[in-house]
Structure formats: C-alpha cells, structure tokens
Structure 1
C-alpha cells in the first residue's frame, strides 16, 4: 500500500514540477495581445488580433505534448503500480495544467512586442496571458491518461492468450 501511495505522490509531484516549467515556456513563446490605456482602464487596442487565439493554441500544444510525453513515460516506468500511476497522471495533469496557467499568466518572459494601430498619443501596452477557451485546460490530463490507456490496451492485446492470428486455426 505504501508503494502505491509513493508512486501516486511521485507522479503528481513530477507533473506539477513540469507544469511550472511549461508555464514559463508558455509565457516565453506566446505573443501578447495589445491593450491601450484609457480612463476606463485597459481596452483591447486591436479587436482583430489573433494573439488571444494564439495563447490558447500554444497552451494546448505545450500541455498536450507534455501530456503525451508523461503518459508514455509513466506507462514504461510505472507498470508495477498501474492504478496509482494512472490516478497520479489524472490528478497531476490537472494540477500541472492549472500551474501552467497561473505561472504563464503571472510572469512575463521572452520578448514582448506589441503592434497595434492606435491613435497617436495613446499608450499601448502588452496584455497578460489568459485563456479565452478554458477547455484547453484538460489537454494535459486527457492526453496523458488516454495515451497511457492506449499503450496498456495495445500491450494487453499483444500479450493476450486469446489473440489468434488472422485466418489461423481456432484453439
């Protein structure tokens, strides 16, 4: 029982640590939307900007790729404690996705270039990263658990004594 708890905890903590690194990466490579400072507060300077959509896309690519990587590595390493590792992938993937969102939207890394057609004399500043499609938060845990299940299903089928070659004799 303690080994399963340890496998769960190690999986969750590893994914949470990767979530911090993913947040820094997301903050570094994602373009920022331009905002202009007005009396009412910051307003979107260019309503036709694709930066808001790009933030969602980069978040999905980074967290989805890490989800696939984590699911594959967890299956190869943690096969002795399947259920604990699988639950750790699910809980750790959720924690990592929220950590990625928090770190990426809190800290600004990389070069921030803001280009917008603003009225002369209006100050244009880069906006903070945010997700306009909150559904991308599930990409890390969903792909990690899904890839883990896919690998386990293929391995279970390959090792099954009930599997018979196509067109072969029925045993």
Structure 2
C-alpha cells in the first residue's frame, strides 16, 4: 500500500505541475477582450464580441485535452489501477487546473481595470483581465482524466478471477428445479 500511495503522490505532483503548461497555453491562445474608457467608465469596445466567452472555452478545451492525456499516461504507467492512483489523478488534475487558472490571471493583462483605464488614458483600447466566468470549467480536467482512466481500465485493465469455477468436463451444470413439477432425477 505504501508503494501505491507513493506512486499516486508522484502522479499528483506531476499532473499538478503540468498546470503551468496549461496556464501558459491558455494565456497565449485566449483571444483578448478589448476595453475602452471614456474617462468616466470602462466599456467593451466590441459589445457583440465573443471574446469573453472564448476565455472560458479556451480554458475548457485545454483542460479537457490535458485531462485525456493525463488519464492515458496514468493508465499506461500503472495498469493495475487502484484507489490511491485514482485519488492522486483527481487531486493532481484539480490542482493543475487551479494552478493554470491562477498563472493565466497572474501573467495576463492587468486585473485592476479602473487603474489600468486611468493609466492608458481616455479613448485608448486595452485588454481585459483573464477571468473565468464559469468556475465549473475548473472541473473539466479532473473529469476528463478520470473518465478516460476509467474507460481504459474497463477495456484493457486486469480482470478479476471468476467467482465460481467452470463445471467439470462431462458434468452438466445445475440448471435449477424442473418446471414440469416432477422431482429431479426422474426420467423424461
């Protein structure tokens, strides 16, 4: 059991650290939301733009992709599975998603929109901060990782031994009481 827990801890740390790559990819691939200030308030430059929802969508797609990869790698490294592995995969994936989110926010555009608007000046376009509006997308990575791992375990994982041995050669298996009401062992 100690070995399984140690392997699960290593897997959790490795998966969580891969959140750095997800965060940097999210920062790089996400379209920017342009804002503009009139000196009194801050507005969207393009009120019908879809960039704001693309922030959540890009994060979700990256998290799903990394979840699939993590589930496959966890299965390939340890085909026997086990509860510690699954818990390590879930915790590592959730920590990786949280790390990616915070890293994208930290390295992304300025989070204090009012101060940034004052700094750039009136009528100058600037980028909105990277914010996840739908916090549920943080679960995309762990759900994808666990679903892929479960599917691979179901398809290719080790099988439990049969609970009842096969009947001996030459003996018919027991089929239960007869349906015609006659006692067992009597001829037809």
Q: TM-score range by the shorter chain?
A: 0.7 to 0.9
Native 8 Å contact 2:5 2:85 kept in 1: no
Superimposed CA distance per residue, residues 103-156 of structure 1 (whole angstroms, 9 cap, x where no aligned partner)? 1121139xxxxxxxxxxx512101111112222111100010011011111125
| Equivalence map 1:75-154=2 (5 Å) | 75-80=75-80, 82-108=82-108, 122-154=123-155
Measure, in 2, the Cα distance between the counterparts of 1:159 and 1:8.
21
4+ residue runs of structure 1 moved beyond 6 angstroms?
none
Matches within 5 A, 1:1-171: 1-40=1-40, 42-80=42-80, 82-108=82-108, 122-156=123-157, 159=159
C-alpha separation in 1, matches of 2:136 and 2:151: 22
CA RMSD across the alignment: 2.3
CA distance in 1, matches of 2:38, 2:106: 22
| Structure 2 unaligned blocks of 5 or more | 110-121, 163-172, 174-188
Per the alignment, in what secondary structure is the counterpart of residue 100 of structure 1? helix
TM-score (normalizing by structure 2): 0.72
TM-score (norm 1): 0.79
Give 1:40 deviation, angstroms: 4.9
Alpha-carbon offset, residue 82 of structure 1: 2.2
Name the SS of the counterpart of 2:82 in structure 1: helix
Measure, in 2, the Cα distance between the counterparts of 1:3 and 1:40: 61
Larger RCO of the pair (alpha carbons < 8 Å, separation 6+): 1
**Larger Cα-atom Rg:** 2
Aligned residues: 152
